[in-house]
Structure 1
Amino acid sequence: MISSPQVSHHPPVSGFYCECPEKRMCVNAHVWTKSKFMGVSVGVSMVGEGVLYLLEHGEQYIFTLPCAYARSILTVPWVELGGKVSISCPQTGYSASVTFHTKPFYGGKVHRGETNHTGAVVCRAQGEWNGMLEFTYSSGETKTIDTNRLSVTRKRLRAVDRQGPEESRRLWKHVTEALRAGNMDEATEHKRHLEEMQRNDERQRTATKTPWTPKHFNKQGEGWVYNRPLWETH
């Protein structure tokens, strides 16, 4: 099960929650983005963090998010990740820093990443985050994972006509259809209509002093938490 709605308009924060009851694992995260132009690229900073819950072990792994870069936006665009991500577990004291390397201007490979450690090392990881990854443990044992060979489960969605009025695929249905048809003017007009409708809703909430209340997430401190998480139902 996955849920990923927008939970705040100012700033525009999105909440994310996904779970696998069979593995007793779930992830709760929130993020908002800050973009900047960099010549022929666009850099996007991901502001926020996530928590991976391993319920079988009673452990929580808190992680930050890498930056995303849209390259060659004037020709054939492509996307890569870059920057450092921190991961820490308060229950075990384990922590790591993961560096996502951006492609050098001349030569070099894309989509590379590696872990950086201080103190005792349990495991080192390096390779391509969307390709072959190699893990070397303190015991000397090594493992490799080819992410291209991992099984992919296609997502299942409720039919659009059975979705709620604020669900993305129903709300943006006409924009999507116009884009697929290559009609940019019609897509722009539908998008303008939706955005103006949302601005009117916001003005009405402000006038009546009605707070914005997400359906699936609750504000806790600086973050947002899914209102029926796996760790509370098991």
Structure 2
Amino acid sequence: MPNMYARGILFGKMVLELGDTCVAKNEKLGLSCDLEFKTKGFFSGTYNAIAGRLRRNTTDVAEISGRWSHVMDIKNNKTGKKRVLFDAQKDGQNVVPKWVPPEDEQESNESRRLWSQLTKAINAKDMEWATDAKSTVEDAQREDRKRREEKGEVYVPRFFELKDGRWVPKFIVPKDPKEAVAAVQNWIFPSATATEVKVKTETSTNPSIAPPPIALPT
């Protein structure tokens, strides 16, 4: 994954942007894509720019360009034709609303709860607070790791396992979409009641009956 950079800390408006490169692969189809998240220059360029090369095995077949926050295009290297790959503002309207439980019902290591102080600091544009909040979480994780090493304990991931050099889920997703939603929810939240699973399943497959947004702490 790309890194995140904070610009304008000392002067001007603070902006967070993604930078560096990452690789996405589909081994089944023999496809891979080298993606570069470009940071804005001091005198030129734009925020959230992206560029990439799509390969089938060792042959370049397409190029990706645009802005990941707006419109991304893909150009076929063989025909030279360009089309819209993803329009964040237009296609984003079709994304199913996210449903998450309130923070006080989440486990202590779930992202929203674990990084809640950092999120508040970023929203408040307080970089000193953000740095302290980030360090607090990371220091606690280092201490946990140190304690495990001292006791000779081996950390076993809850949802993933290492197979052939890759981390894969300890779970096989059913092919039927509705069955898959319910099965994944039961896998991650085994204590959920049948009613909760039914509501979440219907919400995931039918956005029109989504429950009202949950007001999370800010």
Q: TM-score range by the shorter chain?
A: 0.5 to 0.7
The alignment status of 1:71 with 2:39, answered yes or no, reads: yes
Residue equivalent to 1:182: 125
Residue 83 of structure 1 contacts residue 99 of structure 1 at CA under 8 Å; is this kept in 2?
A: yes
Mapped to 1, the partners of 2:54 and 2:125 lie a distance apart of: 38
1:193-218 deviation line (CA, Å, top 9, x unaligned):
11111111222233333333221111
| SS of alignment partner, residue 191 of structure 1 | helix
Give the unaligned 5+ runs of structure 2: 5-16, 181-218
Mapped to 1, the partners of 2:81 and 2:157 lie a distance apart of: 38
- Between the two proteins, the alignment pairs up a number of residues equal to 161
Give the direction of change, closer, same or farther, for the CA distance of 1:149–1:199 in structure 2 (3 Å limit).
closer
User: Which of 145, 148, 173 is residue 205 of structure 1 equivalent to?
Assistant: 148
How far has the Cα of 1:48 moved from its partner?
A: 5.7
User: Which of 132, 142, 154 is residue 97 of structure 2 equivalent to?
Assistant: 154
> Please, what TM-score do these two structures have when normalized by structure 1?
0.53
Letter in 2 for 1:129: L
1:104-136 deviation line (CA, Å, top 9, x unaligned):
xxxxxx73312446xxxxx997313224xxxxx
Letter in 2 for 1:49: K
How far has the Cα of 1:102 moved from its partner?
A: 6.4
Letter in 1 for 2:32: T
Letter in 2 for 1:168: S
The alignment status of 1:129 with 2:85, answered yes or no, reads: yes
> Please, what TM-score do these two structures have when normalized by structure 2?
0.56
Residue 51 of structure 2 contacts residue 65 of structure 2 at CA under 8 Å; is this kept in 1?
A: yes
The alignment status of 1:82 with 2:51, answered yes or no, reads: yes
The alignment status of 1:225 with 2:168, answered yes or no, reads: yes
Higher RCO, Cα 8 Å, sep 6+: 1
Structure number having the greater helix percentage: 2
Structure number having the greater strand percentage: 1
Give the unaligned 5+ runs of structure 1: 1-31, 36-40, 52-59, 89-94, 104-109, 118-122, 132-145
Give the direction of change, closer, same or farther, for the CA distance of 1:160–1:130 in structure 2 (3 Å limit).
same
Residue 22 of structure 2 contacts residue 35 of structure 2 at CA under 8 Å; is this kept in 1?
A: yes
Residue equivalent to 1:98: 62
Residue equivalent to 1:113: 74
User: Which of 22, 25, 29 is residue 46 of structure 1 equivalent to?
Assistant: 22
Residue equivalent to 2:216: none
Q: RMSD across aligned C-alpha pairs, in angstroms?
A: 4.0
